[in-house]
Amino acid sequence: MLTPITSRQTIATVVYEQLRAALMEGNFEAGSSFAISELAERFGTSNTPVREALRRLTDEGALMEGKWNSATLPPLSAAGYDELCLARQVIEGGAAELACGRMDAASLDTLRAISDAHQSALVSGRIEDMLAGNKAFHFHIYRAAGSGVLLEQIENLWLRSGPYTRFLSEKMREVLKADMTLSYARHHDHILAALAARDAGAARRAMIEDIAAVQSWMSRFLSET
């Protein structure tokens, strides 16, 4: 979460990076408001670097301009989430395809270890660890694709998906069952198998199916609210 800044790095950059990471990890609910003065107090800074960080996040589409020197997270929207998922399927599917020919045995072993930890957290109902493991699994693949441009686009999509991640984590506490757990984990198994076989087309398809599965859950949860 957010911590006071004591380094000599550009303060606005550190504020931005901390807020961005917290948003990507789903630490804030949709509709949350960020008052510049309150954030400045939490960070131990003046208002100026906080204002600059919020401006950057607003420009990236993660936040909306609020009233009285504040910014807010957009509300949840089924149509908005579907649009994000469509973009994710195109871009992250392509990244998985690129990574397929670049991951060596050591990188695949690391990915298997990440997957095992993720599935262990899922089975035991440790939602926060499961979500962290899911992110680690995906970004290990995306970094292996070797494209900084693609990685930036994926990070932006995950940034804008943050409120949905928070919403999903709360809903999953109520619905995790053995059959759903196995179904959810199977998608990562398919991705791993495709990468190990160096089957680029299968890697793309498996990644798209993984994103679509979560989208199906989210559609169900959003329809119930």
1-5, 48-52, 192-196: least confident range = 1-5
Average pLDDT of the chain?
A: 89
- Structural domains in the chain plus CATH codes: 11-72 (1.10.10.10), 78-223 (1.20.120.530)
Model pLDDT, residue 181: 55
- Taken in order 211, 215, 216, 221, is the CA torsion positive or negative? positive
Q: Give the lowest-confidence range in 53-62, 63-72, 153-162.
A: 63-72
Alpha-carbon gap, residue 96 to 220, rounded angstroms: 27
The CA-CA-CA angle for residues 28, 31, 32, to 5°, reads 45
Distances (CA, A) of 136 to 24, 166, 168: 12, 17, 17
Query: Where is 48: in which H helix or E strand?
Result: helix 47-59
Q: Each residue of 152-203: pLDDT tens digit?
A: 999 999 999 999 988 988 787 666 654 555 566 789 999 999 999 999 999 9
pLDDT in tens, 132-146: 888 999 999 999 999
- pLDDT-derived band at 8 (thresholds 50, 70, 90) equals very low
Q: What b/e readout covers 120-129, taking b as 16+ CB neighbours within 10 angstroms?
A: ebbeeeebee
Higher pLDDT, 70 or 209: 209
Residue 195, SS3?
A: helix
Q: What is the pLDDT of residue 3?
A: 67
Amino acid 178: pLDDT: 46
- pTM for the whole structure: 0.86
User: CA 88 to CA 90: how far, in whole Å?
Assistant: 5
pLDDT value for 130: 83
Higher pLDDT: 5 or 74? It is 74
- pLDDT of 171 reads 81
| Cα 131 to Cα 121: distance, rounded to the nearest angstrom | 9
Residue 185: count of CB within 10 angstroms of its CB: 16
Q: At residue 113, does pLDDT exceed 80?
A: yes
H/E element holding 105?
Answer: helix 105-124
